[in-house]
Each structure stands twice: as C-alpha cells, then as structure tokens.
A and B are shown apart, each in its own frame.
Chain A
Amino acid sequence: MKLITAVIKPHRLDEVKDALQAFGVHGLTVTEASGYGRQRGHTEVYRGAEYTVDLVPKIRIEVLVEDDDTDQLIEVIVKASRTGKIGDGKVWSVPVDQAVRVRTGERGPDAL
C-alpha cells in the first residue's frame, strides 16, 4: 500500500475529487493547509503598513491506494490539478505498513 499526498490549489479540489471518483477511489481525506514553494507569498497593505504573507492557502489531499495503482493515480491527480501557472503544488507517495478499517477490523488492502 501507498499513501499519496497531494498539495494543490484550493480551487482545483473538485476536479481532483471527480477524477479520483471516476478512477474508482472510494475515500480520501482533505485538509486545509498553508505553505509555499517557488510561488512564495504576496504583499498586503494595511494603512500603509506592508506585510509579506509567505504562506498561501492550499488543500492537502491524502489517499491510501494499492501499490499497483499508485503511478496511475498520481498521474490522475497531477492532470486534474494542473493549471500550468506557478503554485500548482506537489504530489508524492510513501509506503504504508498497515491499514485497518475501524468498523470491521479488516486489514491491509481489504481495508481500503
């Protein structure tokens, strides 16, 4: 099993969700996140006082997947979240030792 994590622009969430559903992914976790990459932040002005806001709002999506699906799913997410402009985000995967469905106690790929 792998955990795919995607940090994307907030307004691309629906596209990514739809694409994952179409692929057959049944569950995912979404959190609001903030951060920056090459895009960096922006400047805000309040009564002349300028503040550099480094962290911009992002959405973090986490999906547990079977090993064989990993590469293809990463492609799906990348395609759905791309706008072509700076700040589109990142997608990565890491190996997962164990997963348990809390209700039934199923383990491993059965729990996905």
Chain B
Amino acid sequence: MNGADTAFVLISAALVMLMTPGLAFFYGGMVRVKSALNMLMMSFIALGIVSVLYILFGYSLSFGADSGGIIGSLEFVGLRGIDADTLTGGDEGIPVFAFVLFQMMFAVITPALMSGALADRVKFSAWAVFITIWVSVVYFPVAHWVWAEGGWLFDMGVIDFAGGTAVHINAGVGALAAVLVVGKRIGFKKEPMRPHSLPLVLLGAALLWFGWFGFNAGSALAADGTAANMALNTQVATATAVLGWLLYERVKHGAFTTLGAASGAIAGLVAITPAGAAVNALGAIAIGLVAGLVCSWAVSWKFKLNYDDSLDVVGVHLVGGLIGTLMVGFLATEGGGLAQFGKQALGAFSVMAFTFVVTWLLAKLVDVTMGLRADEDDEVAGVDQAFHAETAYDFSQVGTSSARGAVAPTDTTTDAPEGKTEGKKVDA
C-alpha cells in the first residue's frame, strides 16, 4: 500500500465532501428569504441519500466489472468482497475503501448541482425521490462510461480528468431537462428575485474553491506531479475566470459585482475540471478566461429563450463543462488536436443526449405520480414553511407565539394529510 497516496486521497475525499455544503450556501444565498432553507436542504439531503446508495449499489454500478461498456456489474453490491486490505492496482495501490469514499463524494454533489435550476418551487419529498432514481439511472452509468475500465468513453480515450463530463455537463443538462418539466417560478421575468445574501454566496464559492482542490488534484489518486499540476491549474484557471467574468460585467452592465466574482470562480473551476491535468498553466489561463467571458454571457440566455434555470446551472455548469471538455481537445500538451477534439465532442454530446432524455422522462414520471412541483400557495408563501416548518432568519420576534410545541414536542404528523400540505400542520 502507498501510504502517501492513501493519505492524500482520504484528505481529498473530505475536501470534496465540504463542497456540497459549500454549494448549498452558494445557492442558498442566491434565493429569496422565503426559500433559503429549502435551497440549502436540496443540496444537503444528497449527502444523506447518495452516500447510502453508493454503498448499496452505486459503487458497483460505476466501477464493477464492465458490461458492454455501459454499466458495471453487481459484484460489489454492499461493498461485497472488499475489506480494509483490498487495494486498487497492485501492491503500490491505495485501499479500495479510500477510492470508494472519494468517488462517493462526486456522486453526492452531482445531483445537488441540479437543485439550483429548480429553486423555490419543487416539493421536497419529490426531490428526494427524483435524485434517488437520477443517480441510479443517470449518474452511476455515466460515471462508468467515463471513468471505469471498459466504459465506452474511457476506452475511446475521452479526457475527463475530474468530471467535466460525468459531473458538470451531466448535471447541467439534467437541470435543463428538469426545468422544462417543472416550469418557471411564479413571477419569472416579472417580479424581482434578488439574492437575499451575497455574503453567503461568496462564502459558498470560497468553500467550493477550497474543496475543489480535493476534487481536481485528488482525482490523480496519487500524491504526485499530476496532482500538483492539477492543483496549480485549478487555482490559475479559477482566478482568470473571476477576472473574465468581472471584465464582461463591467463592460456590459457597468459594475464589478460580488455575484459576478463568485460566479466567475465557479465557471473557472468547472471548466478546468476535465482539463487541468492535460494542459500547462498557460493553457489553464486560456480555459479560465474563455469560461469567465462565455459563462457570464450564457447566463442571459434563459431570459431570451424563456426557460427558468433559476440559479444558472446551465449557464455555468453545462456551458463551463463544455468549454473545458472541448478546449482540452486542442490544448492537451500530449495528443491534443483535431482527433482528440472529436473524441471530446462525441463524449460530451453522447452524455448530453442520454442524460437529457432520461432526466426528462424521470422528472415527468415523478411529476405524474407524486407531483414534482410545489402547490402554488406554498410556492408563493415560500417553501421553507411548507416543507421544513422553519424560517431561515428570525427578523422579528413580534407575532411568534408559543401556543403549540414550544414547551414540549407535540406529535404533528398524525393529522397532516400526505402530499398537498406536507409539513404545514406544524405551525398551523
């Protein structure tokens, strides 16, 4: 066993874990006060659900023995046959447990990324069911295609070092499909929907940036020069994308915004994710600059094309992921050129087509069976109260009475009918 590599991967796994709460803050600050908690919870619940699924069958479907290039076998269901001494790749490998933990964090954050597109208007229970099925039928197979030996994109030689295709393009296009099923927020393009806390957004972006070193460099699965190159390029591309986004905003809208700086950072991080190990630092600067400039423009598409991708998952993750995935085709220091570009494009568009169709069908299925969209009343009043029986901020003590439940917990579930008024009875 290689102790240094093992330590590095375990620490990287913890760093990637922090990205999901970071994402929750990044998104949570961008929504209005009335649904801030729901936005946080849509990400946080993925830590609960997907971690368990990953042990049960996620790891096996992603990295079990290949079946037709499409999906892994069920040989590792419940991590069967793996113990603390099982190593990846020979005597100098790392424990498979470390690899499982690291990959688990990727599976957790990918569905959470989609939540930003669906802000303010999705039933929480339906979201939980949706991501449970989504990771099972979309994420685990796509992760297999891209990263597992025998996966058809892996075998073709598509470069996706840390998840530009499997994570960001995948989540971005999934978000788009889900938005088309769920529809626009009430008041989209009419009411102002200002972010309620930009400091929270910047805090989230900072946590993501920090955790992303684990996400990107950790994907080397070794404490080596590749990891160092990736870490360096992660920093440089992200920095450049911040500058690119701010430049575009200053020219187009007249101000350097905090939200722009935070968004630019995420765009840069997304774009360098597939590419960072295959380019040098100057290539990283080019990728970061393009990501900052193009993504800051891409977030305006939703107003023209009239789809309510609320927090710009398409504009940042899909577009940023495509930029990194396609640019590395040309910029790769080894083997870059038209042939590689063709492979990159084929990989990206295959995932887009597959994920769009399956996600659309899944969202439709959940919508028809249990209802994916929140009730209009709940949406207008704010889904925090409807689904979580909480308020994010205690702005005013006035009007809060201790009539029920403040002295001792009362059982509030017995009289709450399923579905329509989920959770509402608590404060009724």
Contacts and interface: CB of A to CB of B under 8 A. Distances in A.
A86 interface: no
B105 to A, nearest CB: 28
Contact of A51 (B194, B259, B299, B303): B194
B254 to A, nearest CB: 7
A48 interface: yes
Contacts of A49: 303
B320 interface: no
27 contacts: A44-B194, A45-B253, A45-B254, A45-B255, A45-B257, A46-B194, A46-B195, A46-B257, A46-B259, A47-B257, A47-B259, A47-B260, A47-B263, A47-B296, A47-B300, A47-B312, A48-B249, A48-B252, A48-B253, A48-B296, A48-B299, A48-B300, A49-B303, A50-B253, A51-B192, A51-B194, A53-B192
B166 to A, nearest CB: 26
Interface residues of B, number: 17
Given A45-B254, A48-B253, A51-B192, 10 more contacts: A45-B255, A45-B257, A46-B194, A46-B195, A46-B259, A47-B257, A47-B263, A47-B296, A48-B249, A48-B299
Interface of A: 44-51, 53
B299 A47 contact: yes
Contacts of B260: 47
Interface string B241-273: 000000001001111010110010000000000
The 3 closest A-B pairs by CB, nearest first: A51-B192, A45-B253, A47-B299
Contacts of A45: 249, 253-255, 257
B316 to A, nearest CB: 9
A46 B192 CA distance: 10
Contacts of B249: 45, 48
A50 B303 CA distance: 12
Contacts of B253: 45, 48, 50
Contacts of A44: 194
Nearest to A49: B303
Contacts of B303: 49
A12 to B, nearest CB: 24
Tell me the dominant secondary structure on chain A's binding face. Answer: strand
A44 B249 CA distance: 12
A34 to B, nearest CB: 14
Contacts of A47: 257, 259-260, 263, 296, 299-300, 312
A48 B295 CA distance: 12
Contacts of B255: 45
A48 B257 CA distance: 10
Interface in B385-413: none
A50 B296 CA distance: 14
Nearest to A48: B300
Interface in B179-213: 192, 194-195
A7 B252 CA distance: 36
Nearest to A46: B259
Nearest to B30: A46
Contacts of B259: 46-47
A45 B195 CA distance: 11
A46 to B, nearest CB: 6
Nearest to B192: A51
A85 B249 CA distance: 30
A111 to B, nearest CB: 25
B140 to A, nearest CB: 32
A30 to B, nearest CB: 16
A48 B195 CA distance: 13
A88 to B, nearest CB: 26
A52 B398 CA distance: 30
Interface in B298-331: 299-300, 303, 312
B299 to A, nearest CB: 5
B142 to A, nearest CB: 28
Max chain B Cβ within 10 angstroms of own Cβ: one of A45, A50, A53: A45
Name the residue in B195, B253, B300, B312 with the highest tally of chain A Cβ atoms < 10 Å from its Cβ.
B253
Interface string B118-152: 00000000000000000000000000000000000
Contacts of A51: 192, 194
Contacts of B192: 51, 53
Contacts of A53: 192
Contacts of B257: 45-47
Contacts of B263: 47
B184 to A, nearest CB: 14
B293 to A, nearest CB: 13
Contacts of A46: 194-195, 257, 259
B46 to A, nearest CB: 24
A80 B296 CA distance: 46
A96 B252 CA distance: 54
A48 B255 CA distance: 10
A40 to B, nearest CB: 16
Contacts of B312: 47
A51 B312 CA distance: 17
